[in-house]
Structure 1
Amino acid sequence: MAKDIQITFDCSDPAALAAFWAEALDYEVQPPPQGFDTWDDALRAFGVPESEWSSRSAIVADGAPRVFFQRVPEGKQVKNCVHLDVRVAPGLTGDERMQALEAEAARLEALGATRAYRVEPRPPMEHGFITMLDPEGNELCLD
């Protein structure tokens, strides 16, 4: 049986990064536990100090891994050893593929991402992709 996984990002602003990735992946910010209208209500009831309320956030989607964001004191230092490939053009090739990737790159730029570089298709081994940086500089590839 496959194990359930969670993907975790260390970051400086969990709520902002969760909001970006929720839009990028068509997820939603995880709602508060049952019985609570807001996360503030839940955290207050759980006795979490208010200074910690913005230290974590998560996004969810049915049937997909939960993505968790936790505040850490240090900023990003080097290139990520692991990154997400956001598969926005499966089955597309050539100009049609690159146009779909460019459209998604523009959408993510409007949400705060930046473009790092574009790799052109060179069949049969390379189908083309665009490497982006999320608002905190974490790499992701539009594939």
Structure 2
Amino acid sequence: MNEEASPHIVCPHCHTTNRVKRADFSSAPDCGSCHQPLFAGAPVSLDAASFDKHVGRSHLPVVVDFWAPWCGPCLQMAPAFAQAAKDLEPQVQLAKLDTEAHQAIAGRFGIRSIPTMILFKEGREAARVSGAMNAADIARWVRSVG
């Protein structure tokens, strides 16, 4: 089987890498390790350890919202980002990284303003946008650059 037929999906719960047939995406596959759903319909909260697993190992595009708890626009955008996660899964995984708690990762990607969303493909940055958006605009942006 090739990557297209059975891409790697990183579990949003235990961060284990799973190989899942694309044909099985619509049948709500579970993680082989923790048996939780691989597609939770919600953004994955990342930390320093799980960030590299999701961005580097997943064959799905991963959109990371770089945010901080003191940022008003970030907090306003959070429900829209959550809605976009429901709309875009299972083709794209959405995740959040608290830049206050994980400053080294934010620095690694040169995050200067928040919220900033970066779309990663195969571990590399493919696109970036800064500023709060509504759910439809997030989904439209992801589809246009994904």
Both proteins in one fold, TM over 0.5: no
Q: Greater helix percent: which structure?
A: 2
Max radius of gyration: which structure?
1
Report the TM-score when normalising by structure 1.
0.31
